[in-house]
Amino acid sequence: MTNLSTLLETDQAQCDVLVVEDDPVQAEEMVGFLGRAGLVVEVAPDGAHAMRMAEILKPRVVVLDYNLPDMTGVIVAERLKLLSPDIAVIMMSGRIGGLSENVLKQLGISVFVSKPVPLTVLRQAVQGLVTASKGAPAPAPDSPRP
Protein backbone atom coordinates (compact mmCIF):
# COMPACT_ATOMS: atom_id res chain seq x y z
CA MET A 1 0.00 0.00 0.00
CA THR A 2 1.35 3.42 -0.93
CA ASN A 3 0.13 6.93 -0.39
CA LEU A 4 -1.53 8.93 -3.15
CA SER A 5 1.22 11.55 -3.52
CA THR A 6 3.83 8.81 -4.00
CA LEU A 7 1.74 7.27 -6.79
CA LEU A 8 1.36 10.63 -8.50
CA GLU A 9 5.11 11.31 -8.31
CA THR A 10 6.00 7.96 -9.86
CA ASP A 11 3.25 8.00 -12.52
CA GLN A 12 2.22 4.55 -11.25
CA ALA A 13 -1.45 5.46 -11.40
CA GLN A 14 -3.16 2.09 -11.76
CA CYS A 15 -4.26 -0.57 -9.34
CA ASP A 16 -6.21 -3.80 -9.50
CA VAL A 17 -8.21 -3.24 -6.33
CA LEU A 18 -9.23 -0.26 -4.21
CA VAL A 19 -10.38 -1.31 -0.74
CA VAL A 20 -12.68 1.30 0.86
CA GLU A 21 -12.84 0.47 4.57
CA ASP A 22 -12.73 2.77 7.60
CA ASP A 23 -11.61 0.09 10.07
CA PRO A 24 -7.80 0.06 9.73
CA VAL A 25 -7.44 -3.50 11.02
CA GLN A 26 -9.95 -4.90 8.52
CA ALA A 27 -8.49 -2.78 5.72
CA GLU A 28 -4.94 -4.02 6.37
CA GLU A 29 -6.15 -7.61 6.59
CA MET A 30 -7.86 -7.38 3.19
CA VAL A 31 -4.99 -5.47 1.57
CA GLY A 32 -2.45 -8.03 2.80
CA PHE A 33 -4.52 -11.04 1.80
CA LEU A 34 -5.30 -9.70 -1.69
CA GLY A 35 -1.73 -8.46 -2.14
CA ARG A 36 -0.35 -11.94 -1.41
CA ALA A 37 -2.49 -13.15 -4.33
CA GLY A 38 -0.43 -10.94 -6.64
CA LEU A 39 -2.94 -8.08 -6.91
CA VAL A 40 -1.97 -4.39 -6.73
CA VAL A 41 -4.13 -3.10 -3.86
CA GLU A 42 -4.65 0.37 -2.42
CA VAL A 43 -6.88 1.49 0.45
CA ALA A 44 -9.13 4.48 1.15
CA PRO A 45 -10.55 5.17 4.64
CA ASP A 46 -13.75 6.88 3.48
CA GLY A 47 -15.87 7.82 0.49
CA ALA A 48 -14.19 11.14 -0.26
CA HIS A 49 -10.72 9.56 -0.40
CA ALA A 50 -12.12 6.69 -2.46
CA MET A 51 -13.45 9.05 -5.11
CA ARG A 52 -10.16 10.97 -5.40
CA MET A 53 -8.13 7.76 -5.53
CA ALA A 54 -10.44 6.12 -8.08
CA GLU A 55 -10.05 9.10 -10.42
CA ILE A 56 -6.28 8.74 -10.33
CA LEU A 57 -5.74 5.00 -9.90
CA LYS A 58 -8.48 3.70 -12.22
CA PRO A 59 -9.00 0.50 -10.18
CA ARG A 60 -10.50 -2.53 -11.90
CA VAL A 61 -12.37 -3.57 -8.73
CA VAL A 62 -13.53 -1.65 -5.67
CA VAL A 63 -14.19 -3.53 -2.44
CA LEU A 64 -16.55 -1.12 -0.72
CA ASP A 65 -17.84 -1.02 2.84
CA TYR A 66 -21.47 0.08 3.08
CA ASN A 67 -21.04 1.98 6.37
CA LEU A 68 -18.43 4.70 5.93
CA PRO A 69 -17.86 7.72 8.18
CA ASP A 70 -18.70 10.35 5.53
CA MET A 71 -21.29 8.69 3.25
CA THR A 72 -22.86 5.32 2.51
CA GLY A 73 -21.37 2.80 0.16
CA VAL A 74 -24.42 3.29 -2.07
CA ILE A 75 -23.47 6.93 -2.67
CA VAL A 76 -19.86 5.96 -3.36
CA ALA A 77 -20.96 3.19 -5.75
CA GLU A 78 -23.23 5.59 -7.65
CA ARG A 79 -20.41 8.11 -8.04
CA LEU A 80 -17.88 5.45 -9.01
CA LYS A 81 -20.19 4.15 -11.73
CA LEU A 82 -20.56 7.69 -13.11
CA LEU A 83 -16.79 8.05 -13.12
CA SER A 84 -16.11 4.63 -14.62
CA PRO A 85 -19.16 2.61 -15.76
CA ASP A 86 -17.11 -0.58 -16.21
CA ILE A 87 -15.68 -0.63 -12.69
CA ALA A 88 -16.62 -3.74 -10.71
CA VAL A 89 -17.92 -3.06 -7.19
CA ILE A 90 -18.04 -5.54 -4.34
CA MET A 91 -20.18 -4.19 -1.48
CA MET A 92 -19.66 -5.50 2.04
CA SER A 93 -21.40 -4.86 5.33
CA GLY A 94 -22.26 -6.39 8.66
CA ARG A 95 -25.60 -4.60 8.70
CA ILE A 96 -27.39 -3.21 5.71
CA GLY A 97 -30.99 -2.52 6.63
CA GLY A 98 -33.36 -1.69 3.81
CA LEU A 99 -30.99 -2.28 0.90
CA SER A 100 -32.66 -4.74 -1.45
CA GLU A 101 -31.16 -6.98 -4.09
CA ASN A 102 -32.93 -4.79 -6.69
CA VAL A 103 -31.11 -1.68 -5.47
CA LEU A 104 -27.77 -3.50 -5.54
CA LYS A 105 -28.48 -4.66 -9.09
CA GLN A 106 -29.48 -1.14 -10.23
CA LEU A 107 -26.23 0.22 -8.80
CA GLY A 108 -24.23 -2.36 -10.71
CA ILE A 109 -22.90 -4.04 -7.58
CA SER A 110 -21.15 -7.18 -8.81
CA VAL A 111 -21.05 -9.02 -5.49
CA PHE A 112 -22.38 -8.47 -1.96
CA VAL A 113 -20.41 -9.97 0.94
CA SER A 114 -21.58 -10.03 4.57
CA LYS A 115 -19.09 -9.12 7.29
CA PRO A 116 -17.09 -10.62 8.74
CA VAL A 117 -15.71 -11.05 5.23
CA PRO A 118 -14.54 -14.59 4.43
CA LEU A 119 -11.17 -13.68 2.88
CA THR A 120 -10.93 -16.71 0.61
CA VAL A 121 -14.34 -15.97 -0.91
CA LEU A 122 -13.41 -12.30 -1.26
CA ARG A 123 -10.14 -13.17 -3.00
CA GLN A 124 -11.92 -15.51 -5.44
CA ALA A 125 -14.50 -12.84 -6.30
CA VAL A 126 -11.86 -10.11 -6.71
CA GLN A 127 -9.56 -12.27 -8.83
CA GLY A 128 -12.44 -13.27 -11.09
CA LEU A 129 -13.51 -9.64 -11.58
CA VAL A 130 -9.93 -8.42 -12.18
CA THR A 131 -9.37 -11.20 -14.72
CA ALA A 132 -12.67 -10.42 -16.47
CA SER A 133 -11.79 -6.70 -16.63
CA LYS A 134 -8.58 -7.57 -18.45
CA GLY A 135 -10.62 -9.40 -21.10
CA ALA A 136 -9.46 -12.88 -20.14
CA PRO A 137 -11.85 -15.60 -19.06
CA ALA A 138 -12.26 -15.82 -15.29
CA PRO A 139 -10.63 -18.85 -13.65
CA ALA A 140 -12.90 -21.78 -12.79
CA PRO A 141 -14.12 -21.67 -9.16
CA ASP A 142 -12.19 -24.81 -8.25
CA SER A 143 -8.90 -23.68 -9.84
CA PRO A 144 -5.94 -23.60 -7.47
CA ARG A 145 -5.22 -20.17 -6.06
CA PRO A 146 -1.77 -18.71 -5.35
Residue 88 lies in a domain: yes
Per the structure, how many domains does the chain have? 1
Position 143 scores a pLDDT of 42
User: Does residue 78 contact residue 110 with C-beta atoms inside 8 Å?
Assistant: no
For range 99-104, the mean pLDDT: 72
In whole angstroms, what is the distance from residue 74 CA to residue 5 CA? Answer: 27
The answer to whether residue 76 is domain-embedded is: yes
Q: Are 116 and 53 in contact (CB under 8 A)?
A: no
The answer as to whether 104 is a domain residue is: yes
For residues 113 and 4, the model is more confident at: 113
Q: What is the three-class DSSP state of 58?
A: coil
Domain assignment present for 66:
yes
State pLDDT tens for residues 109-126.
888 888 888 899 999 999
Residue 138 within a domain? no
In a domain, 144, yes or no: no
* Nearest-angstrom CA–CA distance, 66 and 46: 10
Q: Tell me 115's DSSP state.
A: S
Q: What is the pLDDT of residue 12?
A: 52
**CA–CA dist 66, 52 (Å, integer):** 18
Q: In this predicted structure, what is the pLDDT of residue 97?
A: 63
Confidence of residue 103 (pLDDT cuts 50, 70, 90): confident
Average pLDDT over residues 94-111: 74
- Domain extent at residue 73: 4-131
Q: What is the pTM of this model?
A: 0.81
Mean pLDDT of 63-75: 94
Q: Which amino acid is at 135?
A: G
**108-127: b or e for each residue (b if 16 or more CB lie within 10 Å)?**
ebbbbeebebeeeebbbbbb
Q: What does pLDDT average to over the chain?
A: 83
In a domain, 139, yes or no: no
- Domain assignment present for 142: no
Say whether pLDDT at 25 is over 50.
Answer: yes
Per DSSP, 139 falls in state: P
92: domain CATH number is 3.40.50.2300
